């Protein structure tokens, strides 16, 4: 079975409830579905790291690395981290591959860098169930739990192809 990482970024205060809903709602889509927070990584894996300017980035990268290992072995990880830096998140995305970024709107951390193309956006006040449904759709569309992978649905892709053929582009 294919593994993947669902990465929650943005408003940290909303994430625990969302992560628990995702853990339950995504059960069966991978060999296992677990939740791991940046705080736990900081406590267990970074306790002896110097608290320098890039300490937060180190924590985020280690969380991503664990996700990479799990996904590579067919498991799913719901990663909980405000992770304000876009470049660090993009590095983790590149490392993991099967990566669904969920932008959790709300109170953002200082200096937060909004992702260019998050697969899912959890609007302020949006129910966890609704977010789970969006994540399931994103996993499906990207081929992490089934066929697909385009920004278009099959019906949309057919429409675009027909349009471009008629316009002479194809």
Partner 1 sequence: MLAPASRAGSEVLAMGRRRVMIIGLDCAEPSLAFDRFAGAMPNLRRLRKRGIWGPLRSTIPPITVPAWTCMVSGSDPGELGIYGFRNRKGYGTYEMDFATSKSVRVPRLWDILGDAGRTSTVLFVPQTYPAPASLRGSMVTCFLTPGPESEWARPPELKATLEAAFGPYIVDVPDFRTDDKRRLLQSIYAMSRQHFAMARHMLAREDWDFFMMVDMGTDRLHHGFWKYFNPDHPQYVPGNPLEDAGREYYAYLDRELGTLLEYADADTAVLVVSDHGARTMRGGICVNEWLLQHGYLALRTVPDAPTPFAKLEIDWSRTKAWGEGGYYARVFLNVQGRDPQGMIPPDQVDTECRALQAMLEAIPDEHGKPIGTVAHRPADIYPVVRGTPPDLIVLFGNLAWRSVGSVGRGRIHTFENDTGPDDANHAWDGILVAAGPGIPALGRLEGAEVRDVARTVLQLLDVPAPATMGGRSLLDRLADIAADPAVDGRRDSPP
Residues that bind partner 1 (CB under 8 A): 86, 103, 113-118, 121, 149-153, 156-157, 159-161, 163-170
Closest distance of CB 161 from partner 1, Å: 8
Closest distance of CB 169 from partner 1, Å: 5
Q: What whole-number distance in Å separates Cα of residue 11 and Cα of residue 169?
A: 43
Closer to partner 1 by Cβ: residue 24 or 170: 170
Tell me the C-alpha to C-alpha distance, in Å, between residue 168 and each of 29, 157, 163, 165: 41, 16, 9, 5
Name the residue among 28, 7, 156, 143 with its Cα closest to residue 83. 7
Closest distance of CB 6 from partner 1, Å: 17
Closer to partner 1 by Cβ: residue 42 or 119: 119
Closer to partner 1 by Cβ: residue 86 or 137: 86
Q: What whole-number distance in Å separates Cα of residue 98 and Cα of residue 134?
A: 16
Closest distance of CB 113 from partner 1, Å: 8
Closer to partner 1 by Cβ: residue 69 or 150: 150
For tokens 């109170």, the residue is 107
Cβ atoms 95, 65 nearer than 8 A: yes
């Amino acid at each position: 079975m294919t593994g993947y990482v669902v990465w929650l970024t943005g408003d940290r205060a909303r994430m625990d409830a969302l992560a628990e809903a995702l853990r339950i709602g995504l059960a069966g889509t991978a060999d296992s579905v677990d939740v791991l927070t940046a705080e736990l990584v900081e406590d267990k894996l970074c306790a002896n790291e110097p608290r320098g300017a890039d300490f937060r980035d180190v924590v985020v990268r280690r969380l991503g690395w664990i996700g990479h290992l799990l996904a590579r072995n067919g498991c799913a990880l719901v990663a909980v981290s405000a992770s304000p830096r876009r470049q660090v998140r993009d590095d983790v995305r590149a490392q993991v591959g099967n990566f669904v970024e969920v932008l959790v709107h709300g109170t953002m951390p200082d200096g937060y860098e909004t992702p260019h193309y998050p697969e899912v956006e959890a609007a302020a006040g949006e129910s966890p169930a609704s977010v789970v449904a969006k994540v399931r759709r994103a996993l499906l569309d990207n081929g992490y739990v089934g066929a697909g992978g385009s920004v278009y649905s099959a019906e949309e892709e057919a429409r675009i192809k027909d349009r471009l053929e008629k316009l002479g582009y194809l």
